[in-house]
Structure 1
Amino acid sequence: MLAEQRRSRILHEVAHRGAARVTDLAVLLDVSEMTIRRDLDVLADRDALDKVHGGATARRAPSTDEPGFAAKSVRQQAEKEAIAQAAAALVSPGAAIAISAGTTTWTFARRLSAVPNLTVVTNSIQIADVFHASPSPDTSVVLTGGVRTPSDALVGPVAVSALRQLHVDLVFLGVHGMDPGAGFTTPNILEAETNRAMVSAAQRLVVLADHTKWRTVGLSTIAGLDQADVLVSDDALPHDARKTLGDEVAELVLAPGPAVALPPDTHPVNAKPAHAIDAIQGDS
């Protein structure tokens, strides 16, 4: 295997797992640990990963980095579609739900056209437009006011004030990142405050986050991992994430995503496949 091929494989492993140890990479690629360390030096110099003691971790974006809606909408599309389909199974006819801004939640909203008699509260113009484009006479949409962010969320005191007067059965929350220490986060302080108000307005919290959000940390925390009643992710979620999240959230749902070769020991921990989702609306 050529050096660049080996480094490409290292990047794949680190990106997929979030982190990798020198010893494991040496065994996987059948080379010496010294060779792996040199490869990590080269990749770290390219800003392709972060080298740490004993291995490497995926390179993190700055905690204040906030990509726009268009940029985020083309990322992990297959995973978002799988998550959206699994999450839509949690919505019962006649429910009052809140949907936060984001491209994963926008994808989810597009799955709800067949659910009758919904009341939808959202701080996203994009999500409100989804229901406007496919109008249903028995669906009501409440759009909060607020200041528009780069990711097309309406945030700030006006949005918070509106949300504090409302009560919904479920909130479907999109997040910038999820981390054992930081919890569910966003790079925008005002969006975090608005999302916290949305979470407080709901009886149950459902977080929608694909596997790339694991160990990504935004500037401000929305909620702790243990506050989620349900977390819907995709089945490329790394083993350490499955274990941690399985212990923290009340229910972890892994939606089938694109075919990805996982390590042999990567098995769900306290996780249910999408087809085994229990309806939670009746418990509200």
Structure 2
Amino acid sequence: MLARQRQAAILDRVRSTGGVRVTDLATEFGVSDMTIRRDLETLHERGLLAKVHGGATAAGPGSTDEPGFDAKSVRQPAEKAAIATRAAELVRPGAAIALSAGTTTAELARRLVDVPGLTVVTNSLPVAEVFHTAGRPDQTVVLTGGVRTPSNALVGPLAVAAVRSLHLDLLFLGVHGITERAGYTTPNLMEAETDRALVAAADRLVVIADHTKWGTVGISSIVELAAADVLVTDDRLAPEARRVLGEHVGELVIVPGTEGEQ
């Protein structure tokens, strides 16, 4: 197990139990106490947990806070619908595309079920369910394997291995946060690795993210801002964010009609 995977597992344990002991983690992962202490120190320095004598406790919500899919679905529904409608215009019949996990990509999936001849690769269970329910015989849906996250994404080595052999026209990437320094981020270390594999497999990257993602930072960076060929967002995005993104991404698309919505 890589250090970042072990640290992700440690964070999951802290979130679920509220605290961990060094000796228990060392036994579980088959490493020395010193290795676990270094992991805890790394996570503590990032503000992701609080070190205590003999272990660590939760530091509260932060860059590893990962709401479930249902919880995220009720946030910014108007913005997500508008973004998805605009992003769907980028898809042509017969294309091979990928949709990452996320509630905005699930909205996009609902707008793509009538596009003929699509091949859709996804690591999102809700996205796959949208296409499965539609049941178009001329569409092919490839669902990666992997470990399920709280946001219903499939991640980890199996998902990465499934994606690495593919060549895709477009990737629509949903993200947890966006900042100038960290780029596009996620609160799940293994999800970041899976997303990077999807980025590498696609000719073009389209990031779809509402205005609330600006200024939010997840624990792991996926790619830098400039990696996006297109970023589709809503018109409630702050002026400074528009300036920064306009300088870095290939094309910044601001979807009108959501400003002032609550």
TM class by shorter chain equals 0.7 to 0.9
Distance in structure 2 (CA, Å) of the matches to 1:251 and 1:259: 20
Give 1:244's aligned residue: 244
Give 1:73's aligned residue: 73
Aligned residues between the structures? 202
Scaled by the length of structure 1, the TM-score of the pair is: 0.70
- What is the SS of the residue equivalent to 1:132? helix
Distance in structure 2 (CA, Å) of the matches to 1:207 and 1:168: 15
Q: Deviations over 1:58-103 (max 9, x none)?
A: xx95001000000000000000000000000000001000000000
Shift of 1:135: 1.2
Structure 1 unaligned residues grouped into runs of 5+? 1-59, 262-284
Distance in structure 2 (CA, Å) of the matches to 1:170 and 1:135: 22
- What is the SS of the residue equivalent to 1:137? coil
Shift of 1:239: 0.1
Structure 2 unaligned residues grouped into runs of 5+? 1-59
Matched, 1:150 2:155: no
Give 2:54's aligned residue: none
Give 1:85's aligned residue: 85
Query: How many percent identity over aligned positions?
Result: 66
RMSD: 1.2
Scaled by the length of structure 2, the TM-score of the pair is: 0.76
Matched, 1:190 2:224: no
- What is the SS of the residue equivalent to 2:120? strand
Q: Cα distance 1:129–1:232, how it changes in 2: closer, same or farther (>3 A)?
A: same
Distance in structure 1 (CA, Å) of the matches to 2:164 and 2:203: 13
Shift of 1:259: 3.4
Give the alignment of 1:27-46 within 5 angstroms.
Answer: none
Distance in structure 1 (CA, Å) of the matches to 2:153 and 2:259: 32
The one-letter amino acid of 1:187's match is: P
Distance in structure 1 (CA, Å) of the matches to 2:75 and 2:224: 25
Give 1:212's aligned residue: 212
Distance in structure 2 (CA, Å) of the matches to 1:70 and 1:169: 29
Give the alignment of 1:111-260 within 5 angstroms.
Answer: 111-260=111-260
Distance in structure 2 (CA, Å) of the matches to 1:237 and 1:142: 33
The one-letter amino acid of 1:148's match is: R
Distance in structure 2 (CA, Å) of the matches to 1:175 and 1:91: 20
- What is the SS of the residue equivalent to 1:142? strand
Shift of 1:180: 0.4
Q: Deviations over 1:231-284 (max 9, x none)?
A: 0000111000000000000000011242329xxxxxxxxxxxxxxxxxxxxxxx
- What is the SS of the residue equivalent to 1:94? coil
Shift of 1:208: 0.5
The one-letter amino acid of 2:93's match is: P
Shift of 1:137: 1.1
Distance in structure 2 (CA, Å) of the matches to 1:246 and 1:122: 28
